[in-house]
Amino acid sequence: MLRFVARRLVGMMLVLFAVSVLVFLIFNVIPSSDPAQRLAGKNATPQLVESITEEWGFDEPLPSQYLTMMKKIFSGDLISYEGREDVDERIVEGIPATFSLCIGAAAIWMFFGILFGYLSAVRAGGWLDTSLTVLAVAGISMPVFWLAAIFLNYLTYQTGVFPSGGYVELTDNPLEWASHLILPWVTLAILYTGFYSRVLRSNMLDAMSEDYVRTARAKGLSERRVMSRHVLRNSLIPIVTLFGLDFGALLGGAILIEAIFSLNGVGQYGYEALQSLDLPPIMAITLFGAFFIVLFNALVDIAYAYLDPRIRLGTEAP
């Protein structure tokens, strides 16, 4: 186990390094305005721009510029070119909103994804399965921005059932926190619920024809127990993989949803930074997102060893 963790940690470092180099190179290749010019402001004199260039090291070779930026990210000194904000501070401020959105949405989609997938599989071919299939396909097909716009139009602007966006801290007012998040949660969860229920349904239908399911029936187990203990349990293993990847990716910022509902999370910050091609926050947010993707990949591997005893993490073989 220890060796596994060590190996994964080294792997995570390498991936994060590669991601940061790539993003850095991309932003130095695509045309954008001179960062010194932006830092100096609108009516800057050429002398000011020149001194900023020198002070920030924009005239140095790329590798040393890269090192300077990485140093700043990890020491918390990173300043954005646009508005000279403290990037790390902005990200930390955005975390509660982003995490509230992702964790809430994930709870909803896992619950309904598994419920609908299970019901669909158990009643495969029946009217319930057919209706759930139609719903799932609709959920997968509706673009998130469109669905969000529909919700906002009918449930906010026309009827005023829900607030029109923004984020309220959980610690300030739990009720307001929830009412501000319900629409983003549901919008985000609908897509994943549809997707997960379809995947679970097909996994379960495959599992139902397994020999061990026949054995379970031959033992005299009730149909419900056969379904839950043998069919569902084994079909959840691939769902865990999917969840790890999707959830990790979302924690790095649910850009569209955060921007539409102006949640002021990490994703929305990333969206703004992208619009102004502001390299420092883009670098920091990309690394932030990549970190969670890599982290959840490792967690999925650990969960796998628990869920499927045939997989033992390298050294622990009996």
Partner 1 sequence: MTAAGGEPLLSVSGLRVGFLTEDGLVQAVDGVSFELRPGEVLAIVGESGSGKSVTAQTTIGLTRSKNSRIEGSVRLAGEELIDAGEGQLGRVRGERIAMVFQDPMTSFNPVYRIGDQIVEAIRAHRDLSRAEGRRRAVELLDSVGIPDPERRVDGYPHEFSGGMRQRAMIAMALALEPEVLIADEPTTALDVTIQAQILRLLRDLNRERGLATILITHDLGVVAEMADRVLVMYAGKIVEQGTLDEIFYDPQHPYTWGLIGSLTRLDRPRPHRLPQIGGAPPSLLDLPQGCAFRPRCPHEFGRCAEAPELEARLPEGGEHRDRCWLTPEQKREKRQVEGRIGLEAPA
Closer to partner 1 by Cβ: residue 42 or 219: 219
Closest approach of partner 1 to the CB of residue 318, in Å: 6
Among 75, 160, 219, 315, binds partner 1 (CB under 8 A): 219
Closer to partner 1 by Cβ: residue 197 or 234: 234
Closest approach of partner 1 to the CB of residue 302, in Å: 16
Among 127, 141, 171, 310, binds partner 1 (CB under 8 A): 310
* Site membership for partner 1, residue 3 (CB under 8 A): no
* Site membership for partner 1, residue 316 (CB under 8 A): no
Give the integer Cα–Cα distance in Å for 263 and 227.
40
* Site membership for partner 1, residue 217 (CB under 8 A): yes
Closer to partner 1 by Cβ: residue 46 or 125: 125
Among 79, 303, 307, 313, binds partner 1 (CB under 8 A): 307
Enumerate residues 6+ apart whose C-beta is below 8 A from 87: 73, 78, 79, 80, 280, 281, 284
Closer to partner 1 by Cβ: residue 2 or 218: 218
Closer to partner 1 by Cβ: residue 172 or 211: 211
Give the integer Cα–Cα distance in Å for 105 and 85.
30
* Site membership for partner 1, residue 130 (CB under 8 A): no
* Site membership for partner 1, residue 308 (CB under 8 A): yes
* Site membership for partner 1, residue 119 (CB under 8 A): no
Asked if residue 229 lies in contact with residue 221, where contact means CB atoms within 8 angstroms, the answer is yes
* Site membership for partner 1, residue 7 (CB under 8 A): no
Among 20, 234, 264, 286, binds partner 1 (CB under 8 A): 234
* Site membership for partner 1, residue 42 (CB under 8 A): no
* Site membership for partner 1, residue 218 (CB under 8 A): yes
Give the integer Cα–Cα distance in Å for 64 and 47.
23
Closer to partner 1 by Cβ: residue 59 or 223: 223
* Site membership for partner 1, residue 200 (CB under 8 A): no
Among 71, 174, 233, 314, binds partner 1 (CB under 8 A): 233
Query: Which residues would be at the binding site for partner 1 (CB under 8 A)?
Result: 125, 210-212, 214-223, 225, 229-230, 233-234, 307-310, 318
